[in-house]
Every structure is written in structure tokens, then in C-alpha cells.
Amino acid sequence: MSDKMSAANHQEPDYTTLSPINLARVIILHERLMSRRPGGRRALLAHHRLEKADFSGRDLREADFTGALLAHCLFLRAQLNFTNFFAADLRTASLDGADLTRSDLRGACFRGASLVGATLVDADIREAVLTRYSADRVPTVVSRMEGHSDLSTMNAQGANLSRAKMGGSFILRADFSHANLSGADLRNADLRSSNFDNAILTGVNLCGSKAQGASFRGAVLSNVQIYDADLREADFTGAIIDPALLGQPAFAGALLPKLPEQNGIDLAARLDEHRQWLETGTAQGQRLSLNEMDLSKRQFAGLPLTAVSMVSAILRGCNFIGATLVTADLARADMRMAVLRDADMRGVNLRHAHLDESILANADLGPLQDVGSAGRSIASNLDSASLVGADLRNVRFVGAVMTKADFSRAKLEGADFRYCDLRGARFSGASLGGAQFDEALLDGVIGLP
């Protein structure tokens, strides 16, 4: 590279500035274009200096912010579908609730930005380099982080990043807790110390990524690719992981759910103490708590497990036939292929639990009634639970909260959903012969005839 080009690469490029009145006019004309009204014109704001501008709630679909300076800007609930933010500076910007579906975010800097509840489905956040040319055609590299998209310390809690392309991105200490990253491409991304607690990472590509010290507690990691990933000291406690993955070298230095024995717990003794606690009205013994432990394939058939706590526990293939699980807390538990036939599960908490291919035929998940002096009723909670391919024949779900639950391909013949809250639930491919839905809330349900 010549001395002239090297010097040019360190020069600050010129940026266009707009008065608030002129910027407002640009946005108004762009919104006219998006609504197909006459006189509209696309917002071409590439290489503009727009720090601290407020674009909240505006329709900026397909606008061009290539290389723009947008630090501290507000894009709250803005429409940014297909918008071009190539190599833009969005440091500490607020994009909470914004829709960035299929937007071009390659090489952009989101350091410290907030995207809580934002939608970035199919967004492209890969590394890229932006070069501008001076009047004498000397190239000037203006990208930050050597072209790597910078999402470090970004807050994306609850955001939808499904199928987002984030390969090679710098994502140090970012917060993706409760986010949906299903199908996202994170190859060679730097994820060190980031928070993926309770996130959906189904089908994610983590090959070559650096995730040392990251937290994946309670996350769903089924069907993921992890070849050559650095997962040392990454915390997978309570995470839902395909058993075949656990034997791969990448997990050798990771923190995984422990067996009760590894925690110094005598399971048989604890079960007996729990039985005493129930029989004496809590006067003796103690309530059983096995949160975040690996209890795969254990035998609990016929046992009294009322009010037991197994939050984020690994219960794959467990036998709960005829067990009493009244008001048990099984939130976020991995209960895939578990057998709960004829179990008493009134008032159970199964929020975000995974019961794919499990067997619950003839189980009772109706409400627990006449509780306490006030005689209140405790409904079972299956909010966002996954029961794909489960055997739910003749199960009593009366009055249960089942918003966004997934019953795809489940056997539901004779199931009783009367008075249930099924808003946003999915029944694609389920067999429904004789199932009852009287008085159920069905807004947004998918797959019902």
C-alpha cells in the first residue's frame, strides 16, 4: 500500500449534516413513498451525521443509512425492514421493539445499544468493510472493528434473531437472555462472557465460535453445530442439549448439569424426607428441591411428589407413571420422552418445559381447587411449553394456561381443553379426534380446523 493510501486510511471522512427541519422532511417524504402516496422519495442518509436523532415509531423501511453516525439515536418501535445500516455507527442507540427483519447490518457497530424485544429475523450482521473514495480516487476504509460487526455489551433481551447471520461478529458481554436465535449463524463469532440464559438456540451454528465464560443456563440447544467451538467455562446448567452433543470435545471444559450424587445428595433419603414433609403437613422432613440437576432416566413411578421443585432439571426419559405431581414446579425442565401416564399433575407449573415425545395419556392437569381458607383454585401453567409429538390422549387440561404452547404432531384424541387459555398455541399435524375446546380462548391458534 502506498504512503498516500495509508495516510488516507487514517483520515476522518466527511459526513453530511442536516438541520432538524430538513431531516424531518426527508422522513416525511420517505413515509409517503412507503405508503405509496404521490410525491414520496426514499431516505438516502448514507454517510450522514445524525447522532441523537429520534426516529421512534417512524416507517423507515428500505431507508439507506450506510456508514451513518447514529450514536445515541432513538429507533423505538420503528419499522426498519430491509433498511440498510451497512457499517453504520449505532453505539448506545435504542432500538427496543423495532422491526429490523432482513435489514443489512453488516459491519455495523451496536456497542452498548439496546434492542430489547426487537425483531431481527433474517438480518445480516456479518463482518464487512466499507471503503469510501476521496476526490482523487484514494480509498479510505471507514469501517470500525476491522469490519467485524460489533455487538459487544448490547442488550437484546427477548429479541427475535431467528436465522440472523452473525458470523464473525464481535459479541463480547452481550445480553441475549430469553431471545430467539433459532437457526442463527454464529460461526467464528466472539461470544465470550455473553448471556444466553433461557434463549432459544435451536439449529444454531456455533462452529469456530469463542464462547468462553458465556452463560447458557436454561437455554435450548437442540440440533446445534459446535465443531471447533471454544466452550471452556461456559455455563450450561439447566440447558436442554441433545445427548449426542455432550460427548463432543467442545463440551470438555464446559459447566454441565450435575448428577445428585455429584452434589453430595442421597436421592433416596431426600425422597423419604419429602414424603415425611407431606405426611406431617411440613412439620417434619423437608421439601424436595432438585433444581438444575441431571436426573435422566430416574424412576419416580407412583411417588408422592406434591410441591416438588425441579426447575430446569434434566428429566429426559424419567418414569413418573402414576406419580403425584400436584403443584410441582417443573418450569423449563427437559422432560423429553418422559412417561407421565396416569399422573396427578393438577396445578403443575410447566412453563417453557420441553415434553417432546413424552407420554401423558390419562394424566390430570386440571386445576387444584379449594386451596387454603379462601378456597382458591390453582390452574396448571403450560405457557410456551413444547409438547411436539407427545401422547396426550384423554389428558384433562381444563382451565390450564397454555399460551404459545406447541402441540404439533401430538396425539390429542379425547383431550379436554375446556376453559383453557390457548392463545397463540400451535396444533399443526396434531390428531384431535374427540378433543373438547368448549369456552377455550383460541385467538391466534394455528392448526385447528
Instruction: Inform me whether the pLDDT recorded for 7 exceeds 50.
Output: no
Rounded CA separation 47/14 (Å): 8
Using one digit for the tens of pLDDT, what is the confidence trace for 230-274? 999 999 988 989 888 888 899 989 999 889 999 899 999 999 999
Residue 145 has a pLDDT of: 46
Rounded CA separation 25/19 (Å): 10
- In this structure, whether the domain defined by 265-449 belongs to CATH 3.50.50.60 is answered with no
In one letter, which amino acid is 215? Answer: S
Domain locations in the chain as residue ranges: 265-449
Residue 136 has a pLDDT of: 52
Residue 12 has a pLDDT of: 55
* Residues 39-53, mean pLDDT to the nearest whole number: 97
Cβ pair 39, 165 in contact under 8 A: no
Instruction: Inform me whether the pLDDT recorded for 343 exceeds 50.
Output: yes
Instruction: Inform me whether the pLDDT recorded for 391 exceeds 50.
Output: yes
Residue 14 has a pLDDT of: 83
Rounded CA separation 339/81 (Å): 44
* Residues 390-405, mean pLDDT to the nearest whole number: 98
- Report the DSSP pairing between strands 131-133 and 368-371: unpaired
What stretches of 254-412 show up as alpha helix (H) in DSSP? Answer: 267-279
With residues binned 3-state (H G I as helix, E B as strand, rest as coil), the percentages for the chain, rounded to 5, are: 10, 20, 70
Q: Grid coordinates representing 109?
A: 457497530
